[in-house]
Each structure stands twice: as C-alpha cells, then as structure tokens.
Structure 1
Amino acid sequence: MISVHMQPAYHPACSRSCTAFKVMGHAGMRTTGPDGSLIIKPAFPAEHRFYEMLNRDPHLARLRPFIPKFLGTLESYSGSGSQFLKAEAEAEADSNGFLVPIPVPPGRTQSLILENLCSAFVKPNTLDVKLGTVFYDEFMAEDKVLRMERTARETTSRSTGVRLTEFQVYDNVTSEAICVPKSYGKALAVSELPEGIARFFPVHCEPSSSALHNGNGAVGPSPSRGLPRKTLIPILRAIRQTVSKIRDVYASFEMRMVGGSLLIMYEADWSRAEAGVRRLLASSSSSMPRPIPIPSSGEEDWDRAHTHRSPSPCVVKLVDFAHTRLAPGEGPDEGVLLGLDTMLKLLDGRIAQLTAGASEECTC
C-alpha cells in the first residue's frame, strides 16, 4: 500500500539549494511514499489536459513509454490516504513542526500525480535539455514572446534546437552532487555544447603517480569524478538508443511541444550503475526480454510493478507539457526534431571520445 507521508522533493545527499527536482525546474513539487515513488506536481490546466489526452487517445499510445507515468490528480486520485494527500499537498513542516504554505507559481491550479523518476536511483545524475527553436505560443503576452525570441536567438536554441539548463552530477570522491546553474547553459556557444555534455558524463580517471604522491611521498586523493569507462559507455549507448526511439516516434506525430524538455537521468553510484549495465547487456542479448510494465491504474498494481521491476542505470523522458498541443495539418515539429538530432550527435561525440582510448584528462 502506498504511504502518504509527504517528503520534500530532494535527494538526501543534495542540498536544498540544488536538487534533482530543482534541476527539473518544478517549484512546489513533493514526493510521497517511503521510497518516494510518486510526486505531486503543481501544473497548468493545459498540462493536465495533455496527460489526460495521452492516457485516453490510442493514437498517442506510441508516445506513452517516453513520458512520465500519470496516475491522476489529487482531486481524482482514489488511492489510500488521498484525503491526507489533498490536505498536505500544498504545505510542509517548518523547523517547529508547523505546516507552512509551499510557494507555487501563479496559474498552476492542478496537482498532478506522476511517477517519480528519481526514486529508482541512489545518486541521480540529472540533466534537463530544453528542446526546440520556438518557446512561445499564440496565448503568450507580447512582452514574453519578445523575451522568448531573444533567449532563443542569444543561446544555442535557435541554431541547434537544444539548450542545456541546470544539471547535477555526483562527485564520487565527495559523494556530493555538483550542481551547474542555468546560466552555464545559456552562456554556452554552439561549439561548446560537447564540453557541456562531457561535464554531464564525466569519466573516472585512474590517477597518475604524480597525482597520487605529494612532494613528501605521501599518498594523495584520487582525482576520480565519474563512472568507470566500461560502465559509462554502455549507459551512454542506452541513452542514445532511447533518444533515437523518441526522435522516430515524435516525428510520426503532428504536434507542437513549446518549452518542453528532454530529461536524462543516470545512476552515479558505482555498484548500482554496474549492476544496471549488467542487466542492460543481459537484456540486449536475450531474444525474449520481459520488462514489467507500469500498470495504467490501480494502487496495488503500482506498488507491485514498482517494487519488482529491475532498476535501470538510466532513464530518458520527455517532460514539461504546459504548452503542448496536437497540430493536425501542420506537419512534424521541426524545431524539436532538430534538437533531438543535435542530442544524438552530441551523444555520438561523447561515446567516440570515451572509446578512443584512455588519454582524456581528468578535468570533468
């Protein structure tokens, strides 16, 4: 049974100032359950309508595996303790144990219940990639349209269809998350995008003798920052394969995803990541893989599926649908497809770097 204890939406090893949820860009989000398997997300009515349409319309079925699972709203959710959820969804306890309001952006009147993608990871490395070349629709005020046009023009978005927003990467020396702010992605030139991708996918470097010993011959700390090469490369390939599938599926629809993102997560914990890679390799070599699907509804089914499915070392999803609409007759969304193509090239480049040899410096 799903516990309804509300938790701040951050990983214990992260500081409040930069969390996996902050990277995802959703103020007011909260988790529920002892394992944090669900989240409560304040959302605009348009995003609620999109999720409802996604669950209902068989035409969109091919898109569902690439979008976080939607279980309903606080108003419609019938799981155990739903009344408690409704009471607690917009409040948290302060240092004295009193409930205080959670700041929620204006206009976000719906509270959606979604699967928590972070819950499968011990140390989630998280990147939100803003997709597309256009970030406004016909309902936006003129001043915001001008601001969105300027942002696209002055960043990598207009020419590549991608902009790296906030991301976090765990440092496996300190076991703490290193958080990179939005300003970094906004300041990147197109030629510097591979550098940004390398920062998000750092590799463990074996320390040289000069790094290990100081002038007195004492042993110093290892400069390791990321996963071992043998673990990181299969994860990159799995992420690349999923992005390619998303690209193919998205190209088959006539829709516009204004302001949407590609969310990439992978496990930074060495042992968990290595175990996940072993499962990936075993699954790819099997002719009859049997993944356990997340059910369409039902609290007990959700618990059963979430408990028994094998954690993957990585996940890639499309997120943020406040300005998403079907666009029959308008053709595919070329701006978003450009962004997905750019991501495939960037991932290919990083894979090529890591497979070329062990000459890479330990700067990530």
Structure 2
Amino acid sequence: MPVELRSITAECCYQIQIGYDEFDCSSDIHIIDEFPQSSHQHSSSTDLAEKQHCSNDDFDDDDEYRDVSSGLPNALNPWAFQCQIRSFQNNGPYGTFLMLENLTSKYKNPCVVDLKLGIRMYADDASEEKKQSQKRKADKTTSKDLGIRLCGMQYYDSSSSTYQCIDKYYGRKLDQSGLKKLLNKFFKTAHGERRRAVCTELLTKLARIRSIIASMDGLRLYGTSLLIVFEGNPNIPDNNLDARLIDFANATCNGLSESVHKGPDAGSLLGIDNLTKILSGLLTK
C-alpha cells in the first residue's frame, strides 16, 4: 500500500487462521492460530485490544438488529454473518485472513455506512465476463452518475434499542433520490446540534481524503469503499466520527502491476464530491 494512504485506512495487524463448524452455521467462528509476525510491528492481539477504547464485554446489552427489507429481528447484523459464512462455504471450514483494526470497537452503538466509490469496480486483470457484469451493475445503480453506491448500513434507533440494517442488494435498487433520503435518515440518527457536528467533521475528513487521492498519480481504487462510523447512543457525548477507505481487492497503483494509469482516480473523486454535496445540503436544512 502506498504510504500516503495508510493514515486513511484500517490498520492491517496480522494474518489469522479461523474456522467454523461447517455442520452448524449458528456456531461461533473461532481462532485457530495467529501470525503477528506476518505484518507490521503490531506484536500481539493484546496490543490491539489496549489500543482500542473498549471491548465488547463493556457493552453487554439487549439491542437487536432488524433487517429493513424483511423486518425480521436478529441477534447480530444479518448481513455481516452471511458474509462470514459465505466466505467459508466458498473456501472450506478453515481459512487464513488478514486481521484488520476493528474500527467499531470504540463505540457503544455504532452507526455504520459502507459507500462504494467510483464508477468502475473491476480489476485490471478481470475477465471479460466479470468486466461486463460489473459494468451492467454500475449502469443500473447510483455508481454511474454519483460515483457512490450504498453497500451496507446500520443505524441505531435509541427509542426501540434496535439497529436498522440494510444490505448491498437494497442499495443497488436505490436511485439518486432514494440514496439521498437514506443518507439523510442515517445522519438524522445524530439529533440536532450533534448531527451538525457529525456532518461538519465528516466534511473535514472528506476534504483530507480527497486531497490525498487527488495527489496520487496512477492510483485506482476500483471497488474500494468509504466506511463512515459514528456513535449512535445519544447518552454518550462524543460522536467520535471516523471515516476510512476499505476493501482494496481490485485497487492498484503504478508499480503494483504491468498496468499503468495516468492522473488521479477521477471516479473516486466524483463519489467524494457528490457525497460532499449531499452532506452540505443536510447542513442547510
């Protein structure tokens, strides 16, 4: 990863081997082994826990997750669980993964949104079938005109102690108006002056992220997302807003492969600019 990006991404801590009981999908995923020496100097998972503000044990509550599409309640975010299980179904009951910094660990009731940036999602080495599939997907969604598409969201409703959860399939159905309304609902989770503080701080972070991307010749963040998190519990005074780039499976930069790109990533900048306009509009309401 280019060093310029490291301050606006989740920290990569080490590799980890995990697994689950393939005959019991409801069972917990368990750690088999850790390889802290495989990445940067982040000596152990204990160091990571100390770095983060709090653990799940601090927040033992009865909040439930409710899927917006079906209305069904769940004990945990249903989309996150599906993603984990599908990974094992595709690769077997064991796998080695990168352990990333948990960006939500410092929140009691995190409000999270994943916005895919840009108008192109496929990698330089993608097959023609994959390219056409991704092009059709982008053309039918807000990616084509706005350079952003909703890939996932959860926001906290303190009145009912529930998280409202939205997956990527719901996001693909949204037009520009629908996306703007949903983002408005997401940020309205932070009431009154708190919402203004969240939007203002996010605008500042977006300006910094934009400046970094605009300065990097040849960087292409194909399929990369912007992850935004803030505290949804109204009784906690600090909204603790965070915004990072995540998911670099299809991203590239000059020197990483044989492909050479010129100039900054216009697609990602389009997405950030349109998100900036949406946020600025929320501040005027």
Of 180, 184, 191, the match for 2:170: 184
SS of residue matched to 1:271? coil
Determine the structure 1 residue equivalent to 2:279.
347
1: CA distance, partners of 2:221 / 2:45: 34
Kindly provide the amino acid, as one letter, of the partner of residue 150 in structure 1: R
Larger Rg: 1
Matches within 5 A, 1:1-364: 54=1, 60-74=2-16, 76-78=35-37, 79=43, 103-104=86-87, 106=90, 110-202=96-188, 226-254=189-217, 255-272=219-236, 274=237, 276=238, 313-327=240-254, 330-353=262-285
Kindly provide the amino acid, as one letter, of the partner of residue 144 in structure 1: K
2: CA distance, partners of 1:247 / 1:80: 33
1: CA distance, partners of 2:44 / 2:149: 40
SS of residue matched to 1:118? coil
Give the stretch that moved more between structures: 123-132 or 61-70: 61-70
SS of residue matched to 2:151? strand
Contact 2:228 2:244 in 1 (8 A): yes
Determine the structure 2 residue equivalent to 1:26.
none
2: CA distance, partners of 1:239 / 1:271: 21
Q: Give CA deviations for 1:243-278 in whole Å, capped at 9, x if unaligned.
A: 111001111112111110000011001122x2x15x
Alpha carbons of 1:271 and 1:159: their partners in 2 closer, same or farther (altered >3 Å)?
same
Kindly provide the amino acid, as one letter, of the partner of residue 68 in structure 1: A
Kindly provide the amino acid, as one letter, of the partner of residue 202 in structure 2: I
Q: Identity over the aligned pairs, expressed in percent?
A: 30
Q: Give CA deviations for 1:103-133 in whole Å, capped at 9, x if unaligned.
A: 5264796411211001010001010001011
Contact 1:194 1:349 in 2 (8 A): no
Alpha carbons of 1:329 and 1:182: their partners in 2 closer, same or farther (altered >3 Å)?
closer
SS of residue matched to 1:104? helix
Kindly provide the amino acid, as one letter, of the partner of residue 263 in structure 1: L
SS of residue matched to 2:220? strand
Aligned length in residues: 217
How far does residue 61 in structure 1 lie from its aligned partner after superposition? 3.1
1: CA distance, partners of 2:45 / 2:156: 35
Q: Give CA deviations for 1:47-81 in whole Å, capped at 9, x if unaligned.
A: xxxxxxx3xxxxx3332111001122236415458
Q: Give CA deviations for 1:153-180 in whole Å, capped at 9, x if unaligned.
A: 1111011111112211111111110112
Contact 1:124 1:265 in 2 (8 A): yes
Contact 1:258 1:323 in 2 (8 A): yes
Contact 1:155 1:189 in 2 (8 A): yes
Alpha carbons of 1:229 and 1:103: their partners in 2 closer, same or farther (altered >3 Å)?
same
Gaps of 5+ in 2: 17-33, 38-42, 47-83, 255-259
Alpha carbons of 1:80 and 1:188: their partners in 2 closer, same or farther (altered >3 Å)?
closer
2: CA distance, partners of 1:81 / 1:62: 25
How far does residue 141 in structure 1 lie from its aligned partner after superposition? 2.2
Determine the structure 1 residue equivalent to 2:25.
none
Alpha carbons of 1:81 and 1:63: their partners in 2 closer, same or farther (altered >3 Å)?
closer
SS of residue matched to 2:98? strand
2: CA distance, partners of 1:190 / 1:116: 31
1: CA distance, partners of 2:210 / 2:279: 14
SS of residue matched to 1:256? coil
Alpha carbons of 1:81 and 1:335: their partners in 2 closer, same or farther (altered >3 Å)?
closer
2: CA distance, partners of 1:248 / 1:331: 13
Runs of 4+ in 1 over 6 A off after TM superposition: none
2: CA distance, partners of 1:103 / 1:349: 38
Contact 1:166 1:180 in 2 (8 A): yes
Kindly provide the amino acid, as one letter, of the partner of residue 134 in structure 1: R
